[in-house]
Chain A
Amino acid sequence: MLKKIPSPAPALNVGKATKHDSADRHVRGNALYIDDIREPRGTLHLAPGYARESCGKIKSLDLDAVRSAPGVVAVLTASDIPGLNDCSPSFGGDPILADGRIEFHGQVVFAVVARSHLEARKAAKLAHIEVIAETPMVTAEDGLAREASVLPTYEFSRGSPEATIKASPLALSDSFRIGGQEHFYLEGQVSLAIPQDQGEILVHTSTQHPTEIQHLIAKMLKIRDAAVVCECRRMGGAFGGKESQAAQWACLAALASHVTGRPAKMRLDRDDDMIMTGKRHDFRCDWQAGFDETGKISAVEVDFLARCGCSADLSLGVNDRTMFHADNSYYYPENRITSHRIKTNTVSNTAFRGFGGPQGMVFSERMMDAIAIKLGLDPLDVRKTNFYGDSGRDITPFGMKVEDNILEELVGELEQTSDYRKRRQEIQAFNTRSPFLKKGLALNPLKFGISFTLKHLNQAGALVHVYTDGSVQVNHGGTEMGQGLYTKVAQVVAEEFGIDLENVQITATTTDKVPNTAPTAASSGTDLNGMAAKLAAETIKSRLIDLAAKLYQIEKSAISFANNHVQIGQQKIPFAELTQQAFLQRVSLSSTGYYATPNITWDRDSKSGRPFLYFAYGAACAEVTIDTLTGEMVIDRVDILHDVGKSLNPALDIGQIEGGFVQGMGWLTTEELVYDDQGRLRTHAPSTYKIPTASDLPDDFRVKLWDSPGNREDTIYRSKAVGEPPVMLATAVFSAITNAIASLKPGVLPQISAPATPENILAAVKLMKSGD
């Protein structure tokens, strides 16, 4: 049963489809990104240098030609680092500059500091690095064979799944692959370090986690955290790729600035960026399941073999989240979910929108398709049969009770509005008469847990200043990467004070205003920072109410804020008049706000407690056509219904849903990372790595927000997080492709791995045609 949700008061700012705060500047081209900031005179530029090999001991490093190249001011190596040579967000193993060994192709061995970016890049090519090459572990299988891992194996289990699968009337087993993904933020990694008075350093850095970079720079330079300020006004995209992976470039810029005493900027060339920074983890997924004739699952066993790359980075949280979402929306009475965190000599894989969750869900959705194909049932019926349900069917593999499930209604609505059943029939008819082209249709649900599974990250701070003229400045720990966080938080603050959005000044995220912040990640930006900003505003507001009550001798309950005015009983004064009064009456108009998410109790060691405050839900229905002669595929139509609770800003939320879906669609179709047998990435530019372009958007694309009564949890204005979940709507595309191929031979599961490139589709088609 859903908790009764209080109906909110009519809002002035919250819930409006306000444009992104920087929209005008984006289109004018005067929104400043770090590379656009006018450099202080004498700014130097960095470029990274690396070895040809993928793995081995560095025997010699000859940088003479680099040092004497035109424009070169300094060449940095590990020995230039006064403090800790590591930029890992977690367990170490990520040297800022390689010291003695290289662990992957593209690992930075030295950095050139030159007068210009071009001179630095040209000089970086002149090094002679001799490496005693070792055979690299490239694939997950290579790592597995050498029992190499970056973290211990972790497992959820319930019951005796193996025995239950054996005892089940029907069973299936399968192994398939899920590819990685390059973030391809349009703005590459960039940082500008500027030395300040008294040995402090200011670093403009394009990152989701300024606090972590502040700490890493301090440790690297052996100075105190307080002497480092990290600032980020906006990123040109991030998607998880600037959570931990922005640090190395900020550290190097800071190091160059420390060594030369001059401002220093490091901006990665696109190819370097793609070679040197981590990506979404790719997986091999081995599973088996037992079920009955209706497709109802009795037990599931799954092994996730993740290629983590050369270090732990954020692989713990990412792989945990894969496990947390291996159930997606389905109840597994008995299960064993095992996650292997395999080490390879490839770049360290990292956070990417969904943080492991998407891989878990691609597994669950393939399993649903496999069962349906085997039984000859409609896959949607098999999905529904396995949905979480009432008591007895509502406990996840990690022991959390699903209390806010709306899937039956949400999926039911999409089934109707997308005309799913009728189209299934039409598609069957099409496939019967069409010898070369085949269609597939799938309607997939999603349920995504909201909160950092690392409990301590679920906190946020904000700082709100009200000036005597009634204008308001807001700052918080969240970063803006395009998602519209700044806009939403400003809406919240404007709402609290009853003022127009234009009166709220947004300011850049900086560690000297709000310290000790969590990364902007896990879709939590608005939940956390919106709440912290609201609390800060409430503090000031309550001071203003106290003041007004005193000045006007009136009950506090008779005071309210709206339309840039304060209603005080029968009297109405401009907001700015009260703020003037506050100054004259010596009342503080500035406050911090601090929020820590309640009701999360996850304990990783005992595998117990509640990792998530709530779940976000959604569903997508995708129709595709494949060409069985070439493997080419088009997406004909997509219908989406997604749950954002009570939307803070429908325009921004729709933007996240559409953009997330298309990003997920790219991951599962055209985006293919190809490594050679030495572990060198061959697809390190947009010429070879293909993210969706305009024509890939289905001609018929229908996106709707679920008409929600609001989040049952007391989140910011009863909204729900929306950053990551929509990525997983794209599993419907992968399922539709699977179903299109399956039409070639009823009852046989197509052997298709992700991404479903034309090549992978044609290979699966060929297998279907070949007999077995």
Chain B
Amino acid sequence: MTMRQSIRFVRDGKAVELTDIGPNDTLLDYLRLTEESRGTKEGCAEGDCGACSVAVGAINKNGQLEYQAVNSCIQLLGMLDGKEIITVDDLSRGQEALHPVQDAMVRHHGSQCGFCTPGIVMSLFTLYHKGIKADRQAINNQLAGNLCRCTGYRPIIDAALESCNGSLDDRFVQAYAATTETLNKLDDGQDVFLGTPERFFAAPASIASLAKLYSQHPDAIVVAGATDVGLWITKQLRDLPKIIHLGRVEGLDRVEDNGAELLIGAGATYAQAEDALATIDPDIAEVVRRIGSSQVRASGTIGGNIANGSPIGDSPPLLIALDARLGLEKADSKREIRLEDFFIDYGKQDRQPGEFVSYVKVPKLAKNQFLRSYKISKRFDQDISALLAAFRLTVEHNRITEARIAFGGMAATPKRAAKTEKILVGLDLADQSGWTKAAETLEQDYQPISDMRASKEYRNDVAKGLLLKALHEISHAVSDTASPETRVIGQRNNSLREAV
């Protein structure tokens, strides 16, 4: 098989080819220092403020050109292979008329100091290109990762409501066909490898190439979206000599609905998987909506969220409650394990040298199964959880026959509440007398720590509160009676699938 020793992407309608890039080079540094396109700003260099947002164009599964905002500060340059990059400097050059998004931002007084503005413009540019009439919720979701410290957001939201209105009329729309053609030409299906065996950026094109390369370099860092690894580079200033990027692996980003379960490839981004996951339960949609920001979800993957092994990742507890299974693969073998068994201890997962996560299988809910999931954080949007709770109760004739409870942020790993689950099984949902005891049992299941996100006391208290909340909600759903309001965020339409 041939191998390409360069990366190629589209800038300003033209393909750019780079042969001399380092494995740790970031897109932002390329833009600001190499190109000297300085419209794009560095605000935090950790993907949390959005000032560096740029639009990345790629051909989606339907063969359509799609733009998504990403944080260029933590995008490794090599990851942009085969993509189009659009920055604020490209929107309206020189004396050209302002882009509709820019124009609305000016007329609504959407900038004050102006430093976040390029990122906000690019974030809204991608919303504009969705071609939908954006409502407040869509705008909140798009802007969750774009911090503005001056305006209080009202004028920005108004500018977005006005400009992201479903009309599509800019020169990028006019260039869709040409850009699509250029991007398709760049998609050569070849493995990409830049550098030497000691220091490289690689983006294999097939699972076989990936498995082979990783077995040769089990010390390499595997990145999907680099939404975490990017910070090792920009914040810990670590040198990562060997990078293997998953973004070009054919088939790794599949999202399949097999009727009873979903299969999500390890390379599928949150953005690619969220619609499918949302079909299982609205609480899943809400948790995924609150993972990072639109920029993070455009790059980050559920596979990465799992493989990373963090005790505060949001998807593992949710998937554990759903009894998901994990596919692992290496050069000469494949296996499938229960997701909960993957997390052994803090920083330790059941993953062998050269082995990578290939997929996660997520069972859907049976008719008599009820899921509730809650994310608790200081700020609703784009915050890392203090804790994340997921409850799946199987109910027969008002009685709990099976309970799967998993929490993130309560232990060194995402972990089930075995003792509490045992107490719950057999409980009559119409009888609240056993609930308190079940809630108190959580303290035997978890001994959380105190950190900057929450104290252990709070984590314990709120864990109990969330179990009680889930029981209240589910008991009303089971009995099909009106529940008192239980949520300040993430309201669900209780008529959706509650009749058993």
Contacts and interface: CB of A to CB of B under 8 A. Distances in A.
B458 A687 contact: no
A685 B115 CA distance: 17
Given A27-B98, A686-B147, A655 B488 contact: no
A670 B112 contact: no
Contacts of A184: 147, 149
Interface string B444-455: 000000011111
Interface in B425-464: 451-455, 457-458, 461-462
Contact of B235 (A24, A238, A271, A483): A271
Contacts of A238: 113
A663 interface: yes
A223 interface: no
A625 B144 CA distance: 21
A470 to B, nearest CB: 23
A694 B111 contact: no
B144 A695 contact: yes
A606 interface: no
A298 B465 CA distance: 43
Contacts of B92: 28
A257 B73 CA distance: 28
B41 A186 contact: yes
B381 A121 contact: no
A482 B110 CA distance: 11
Interface stretch (A52-60, A196-204, A433-441): A433-441
A435 B484 contact: yes
Interface stretch (B101-109, B263-271, B331-339, B359-367): B101-109
Given A29-B87, A652-B109, A762-B461, A692 B114 contact: no
Interface in B184-237: 235, 237
Contacts of A699: 136
Contacts of A134: none
Contacts of B259: none
A685 B46 contact: yes
The DSSP consensus for interface residues of chain A is loop
A27 B378 contact: no
Interface string A679-692: 00011011110111
Contacts of A118: 29, 237
A237 B150 contact: yes
B115 A236 contact: yes
Given A688-B452, A766-B461, A626 B147 contact: no
A235 B105 CA distance: 19
B237 A27 contact: no
Interface in B46-72: 46, 48-49, 51
B140 A694 contact: yes
Interface residues of B, number: 88
Interface stretch (B9-17, B153-161, B241-249, B274-282): B153-161
Contacts of A674: 452
B48 A629 contact: no
B88 A694 contact: no
Contacts of A633: 488
Contact of B44 (A36, A270, A433, A694): A270
B94 to A, nearest CB: 9
B454 A687 contact: no
6 contacts: A17-B109, A28-B39, A29-B39, A186-B148, A271-B235, A654-B109
Given A630-B374, A682-B451, 10 more contacts: A26-B111, A186-B49, A626-B488, A631-B458, A670-B378, A690-B379, A693-B146, A696-B379, A696-B381, A762-B458
Interface of B: 29, 36, 38-46, 48-49, 51, 87-89, 91-92, 98, 101-103, 105-107, 109-118, 121, 136, 139-140, 143-157, 235, 237, 374, 376-384, 386, 451-455, 457-458, 461-462, 465-466, 468-469, 472, 484-489
Interface of A: 17, 19-20, 22-33, 35-36, 38, 118, 121-122, 125, 183-188, 234-239, 269-271, 433-437, 481-484, 625-627, 629-634, 651-652, 654-655, 658-663, 670, 672, 674, 682-683, 685-688, 690-697, 699, 701, 703, 757-759, 762-763, 766
3 smallest CB-CB distances across A and B, nearest first, come from A29-B39, A482-B113, A236-B115
